[in-house]
Amino acid sequence: MTELDAPGTNPFDVAREAAAHIAEATGVAKHDVALVLGSGWGGAADLLGETVAEIPSHEIPGFSAPAVAGHVATTRSIRINGSDKHALVLGSRTHLYEGKGVRRVVHGVRTAAATGAKAVILTNGCGGLNLDWAPGSPVLISDHINLTATSPLEGATFVDLTDLYSSRLRDLAREVDPELPEGVYAQFRGPHYETPAEVRMAGRMGADLVGMSTTLEAIAARHAGLEVLGISLVTNLAAGISPVPLSHEEVIEAGQAAGPRISALLAKIVERI
């Protein structure tokens, strides 16, 4: 098994190795769409269709067990309801704050592309700056601000991000729920929550949502040729917007409360894609 971070290793070779492992373990030669399910979104996998196979993620080259409560530890191949298409549900998302390196953060989406997927849905739980979005509200990501001070692209790799979050896929999502709002997502490094001043800064930059994931994966997905749909679940009002201190338990509780509704929404979007 090739080590993702070993000197001289090509991360795309490891992604192809991971894709070959998934194909062998699932018996599915090609996946059509991939999903990364963040806090609150895990239940969606059960509504997508028939689970063909489930693999402990740490057994797949380049993946490791999740480090965050509320994130699943398995990768699933699912035959999508009413079709012969397959979805790859990627478990064990790696966050930048875990210190495992950017390659590991984006390995999932690169592997998805190597399995044959043409689109990826990136979800997360996040803090909201808009008082109209109560905890439990799903919001389409229209654009992002990367405040991590890093990129998943190495060397002179220039990628246009003008339509990074696909307008076509956002339109499909609004066919399912015409009331879905959209906003700009800002990613901080974490793992600490943002200060009120940092939230005000992000808001002045144009952000509506703040969190600790997604932007690096989206960039890598675009580079790998995937069409990207991003959806945030507002699990809490951001620091300085919220009158109470923030906690991860609050994030999990809000995700659990909204779970059935947002899972049904996501399943219907996947069927349309």
125 in a labelled binding site? yes
Residue in 98, 175, 182, 194 annotated catalytic: 194
Residue 213 in marked binding region:
yes
Q: What are phi and psi of 168, to 5 degrees?
A: -65, -45
Q: Token digits for 272?
A: 């349309």
Would you give the DSSP letter of residue 239?
A: B
Whole-number Cα distances in Å, 67 to 58, 108, 239: 12, 15, 24
Question: How far is 229 from 32, CA to CA, in rounded Å?
Answer: 14
Distance (Å, whole) CA 146 – CA 187: 5
Does the annotation flag 236 for ligand binding? yes
Is 194 labelled a binding residue?
Answer: yes
Q: What are the structure tokens assigned to 211, written together? A: 């969190």
Q: Write the CB contacts of 184 (distance below 8 Å, at least 6 apart in sequence).
A: 141, 142, 143, 144, 145, 206, 207, 208, 209
What is the 8-class DSSP label of residue 108? H
Residue 142 assigned to a binding site: no
179 is known as an active-site residue: no
Residues flagged as binding site: 39, 71, 93-95, 125, 194, 213, 236
Residues annotated catalytic, as ranges: 194
Residues flagged as binding site for phosphate: 39, 71, 93-95, 125, 213
Residues flagged as binding site for a purine D-ribonucleoside: 194, 236
